[in-house]
Amino acid sequence: MENNSVEQIKNLAIAAQGTMPIQVDGDASIAIVPEGFKVISTEKFNQLRDRFRGVYATLSIQSFVEYITNRNLKGVKAFVSTTNGLRAESIFNLGDEGEAGHADDLANLTLEKKPEFKALERADGQRFDQQDLIDWLDDWADFVSAHNSVGLIPHDKAIRALRKVKINRGHEVDSSVHDLGYKASVTEQVGATGVDENLPEYFIMKTESYKGLEVADLKISLRISTKDTSPTFVLRFVGKDAHEQQRAEEFIELLENQLAGNVDFYQGTFTA
C-alpha cells in the first residue's frame, strides 16, 4: 500500500473517533488536527474569546487610575520604572507561584515630558549666541523668568540687557558668582561693555516636567563665555539629578495614593 494511502486512512481513523476538537482545557479552545498532529487554537472561530487579555496604554495618570479602578480586580500587580523616564505597568493576571497567570492582561502608563521641559533638557550645557538665546527665551517666555540678585527682571528688560553685552577680552564667568556685585564683576573680570542692572544671573522655569505632576521651579544658571570676540551664553540645569529623583518619588507616591488597596506596587520591571 502506498504511503499516501496509509496517511489518508490514518487521518480518517482519527477523525472517526468523534472526539475532535479535543478539549485539553475547559477554558481554552484547541484541537489536534490530523496533519502533523499540530495543536492549534480554534478560539477565533468562537463567538467569544476564551478569556480577557490585552494591553491598555495611556499617557494620562488619570486614565490609568480609572482603568485599573473600573476593572475592580483582586491581585493586581504594578511595576514602576523610573529609569529613562517615568513608567508603570499593571498586570491583572500575573497570579502567584501556586496559580500562575499568563501575564498578558496589562495596563501601561508612560508619562509624557512637557514641551518646555524637553526644551530645557536640550538647552542644558548648550552654547548660544546672543540672538539664539533671545529666541529661546522668547519661545518659552510663558514658562521662563529672568532673575538677578535684586529679584525678578521683566522679560523685555532682560532681553534688552542681553542684547547690549559685548566682550573686550577673553575669559569665562559664571553669572551666579558676583562677589563684587554682578555688574562690577562682569565688567572688571571680563572687560564687557553694555552690562546693565537688568542682565540676568539665572532663570526660573515653572513646569510640571512630566504631564500630571505638580508644577515646580527649575533653576537655570547663565554663564557668559568670552573666549571669542562676541559673547556666548551657556545655560545649565541646576540640580538636574536631584530633580529627576524628586519627580520619580512623586510619581510613585501619586500612584500609590490613588490606587491604595487596589494594587500591589513594586519598583522595577517584570518580564513573564
Q: Write out the chain's pLDDT in tens, 272 residues.
A: 556 665 665 565 555 555 555 545 566 666 656 666 677 788 888 888 888 899 999 999 999 999 999 999 999 999 999 988 999 999 999 988 888 899 999 999 999 999 999 999 999 999 999 999 999 999 999 999 999 998 999 999 999 999 988 866 544 444 444 433 344 344 444 445 556 789 999 999 999 999 999 999 999 999 988 777 778 999 999 999 999 999 999 999 999 999 998 899 999 999 98
Walk me through the domains of the chain, giving residue ranges and CATH numbers.
3-45 (no CATH), 54-111+247-267 (3.30.720), 115-238 (no CATH)
Helix (H) or strand (E) holding 205: strand 202-207
pLDDT for position 35:
63
DSSP codes joined into one string, 78-111: EEEE-SSS-EEEEESS-B-SSSB----EEEEEEP
- Cβ–Cβ < 8 Å for 235, 222: yes
As given in the structure block, the three cell numbers for residue 175 are 553669572
